[in-house]
Amino acid sequence: MRSAGPAAAGGRALAGAAGLAAELAARIGAGARFAGLMAARREDRLLLSAHLAVPGGMETVEVALPSGAASYPALTPAVGAAFWYERQIHDLFGVVPAGHPRLEPLILPAHGEAAPRPWPGPGAAGPEPGGIWPDEHSLPRRVMGAGLFTIPHGPVRSGVTESVEYLIETPGEDIPHLNMRVFYKHRGVEKRFEGMTAGDGVLLAERAEGVASVAHALAFCHAIERIAGVTVPRPAALVRVLHAELERIAAHLDAGARLAEAAGLAVATARLAAHKERVLRLAGQMCGSRFGRGVVVPGGVAALPRLGPAEVRAQAGALEQAVSADARALMGTASFLDRLRDTGPLRPERAREHGALGPVGRASGFADDARLARPYDGYLALRAGEPAVEASGDALARLRVRWHEVGQSFRLVGQAAGELARLPAGPVRVTCPAGDGRAVGWAEAPAGEVLYDVRMTGGVIERCWPRSPSFHNLVLLHEVFAGDILTDFPFIEASFGLSAAGVAL
């Protein structure tokens, strides 16, 4: 497994941010996937790190801006996938990516160099005692005018949903433009990690994005374990797989139920939701938390499941039968399939260019799956099978990918529980010394790869950058509208399966 250290751009010194753009474009052209861009402050310099997924691992390319620099040439013109990342960095650090095509606030609306920021530059203000409040004047005005309508939707929406606002701007006959406001529920998670121990940090990682609690805990702990240079004991590696796969099954059932609900299929919605409840109860019986919280700790897992492996296997087997029967019935409902076919198509070229993650990417032929491409824990030895890939890129393809993965997940649960039953008793965690260093960790969440870039100094977290697949993928919503934006919207949103918590953090 490769995880090149920071500034390991093939040993070459990069000529500032302009050199970074060229370097990234070349690497991406040669097959690497852009996995994210993060910033950190060191004294009066800004450090920019881009993460690239390569076969077998992740590589980090880092540049330091000149001392005191409050601006750098934007990467987005050369690396389109950096579009939201540079806006995020602008909001949090107040640094301007010059030449960025649309530098509007994204997660923390603020205005001007003097505005308070979580990581302010030289001369700018940090958080006040009362915190930082979003400055709504810094948001662009809503488009209005002859033949122009803006249909606001949110942040408080109907049903039980997370807070996010979609502004649908319809300029007459043309394809409407979608504007997303995700800042409403920004919680300052990234900054909150600083100063925590690794043991506390994993608790926060679990709460970065609740529907992917296990995956966030795993990616965080992988980074910590890489810094410490430890490998978790075999039983722990298997218990991690059990919970990660149950989390995936629950999330995919939820996406299926939401799609069925959007289509008005009450019985299918109810049945899939009831199955999801059974999955959460199984996880709860195993560890005490329906979301698998408290299981993953640096160095392994907190304990073996309270349910014996044979019982886990038996329950999962019964569930698999029930789920697959209902999935088959749903996928045989012609009116439902008609509703999903050609809805919200993401072109394969765009999926590849952007490095679309999880089922969204795989439904558009982009097969990256961290469990297979950069395996970790139990996945190194278990047989997950081929990644689920579809070609058509529409909401139907995304659902097909999810059903395929649900089958895979049940098989992995069966395999992991089977092996766990055969293992002799032994420790489930190793001590994870809190040494200094920096590393990247990853895990495949239900919605795609979760990435953590962690730097430990003096036994505590100096800097932690969590990146959820929701953040990376949500920007693609901009471009998947081919038909009627209003009636298709619920299907497209459900088929993406993203969480606003992970976007705004």
Partner 1 sequence: MLRGLRDGVVTTRWPGRPDGYSDAWRGPAVLTAPLPAGAAGDLAGICPTGAIRPGPDGVVRLDRGRCILCGRCAERRPAEFGWSRGSAAAVVSREALVVPVTAETERSVGQVRAALRARTAALRRSVHVRHVDAGSDGSEEQEIAALLNPVYDVHRLGIFFTASPRHADVLLVTGAGAHGMAEPLRRTWEGMPDPKVVIAVGTDACGGGLLADSYATSGGIGSVIDVDVWLPGSPPPPFAILHALLLAIGRLPGGSGYGSGERAGGMAQ
Contacting residues toward partner 1, per CB under 8 A: 108, 118, 127, 131-134, 155-163, 183-189, 191-192, 196, 200, 203-204, 207-211, 213, 254, 265, 267-268, 270-271, 273-274, 276-277, 280-281, 284, 288-291, 293-294, 322, 326, 329-330, 332-333, 499-502, 504
- In Å, how far from its chain's centre is CA 69? 30
Long-range CB contact pairs, 157-164, < 8 A, 24+: 162/499, 162/500, 162/501, 163/500, 164/500, 164/503, 164/504
Q: Which is nearer to partner 1, 68 or 317 (CB)?
A: 317
Residue labelled with tokens 């979580």? 118
Q: Which is nearer to partner 1, 187 or 347 (CB)?
A: 187
Q: Which is nearer to partner 1, 293 or 371 (CB)?
A: 293
Q: Which is nearer to partner 1, 160 or 391 (CB)?
A: 160
Q: How far is the CB of 316 from partner 1 (least distance, A)?
A: 17
Helix, strand, coil content of the chain in percent (nearest 5)? 45, 20, 40
Q: How far is the CB of 239 from partner 1 (least distance, A)?
A: 16
Contact 363, 393 (CB under 8 A): yes
Calpha distance 61→11 (Å, rounded):
10
Contact 478, 427 (CB under 8 A): no
DSSP 409-445: HHHHHHHHHHHHHHSPS--SB-------EEEEEEEEE
Q: Which is nearer to partner 1, 270 or 486 (CB)?
A: 270
Q: With H, G, I as helix, E, B as strand and everything else as coil, classify residue 430.
A: coil
Q: How far is the CB of 476 from partner 1 (least distance, A)?
A: 19
Q: Which is nearer to partner 1, 132 or 384 (CB)?
A: 132
**Which two structure tokens, joined as six digits, stand for 346?**
């993401």
Q: Which is nearer to partner 1, 331 or 381 (CB)?
A: 331
Q: How far is the CB of 172 from partner 1 (least distance, A)?
A: 29
Q: Is the bond preceding 155 in cis, omega lying within 30 degrees of 0?
A: yes
Q: How far is the CB of 180 from partner 1 (least distance, A)?
A: 14
User: Exposed (0-12), middle (13-18) or buried (19+): which is 349, by Cβ within 10 Å?
Assistant: exposed
Q: How far is the CB of 183 from partner 1 (least distance, A)?
A: 5
Q: How far is the CB of 79 from partner 1 (least distance, A)?
A: 28
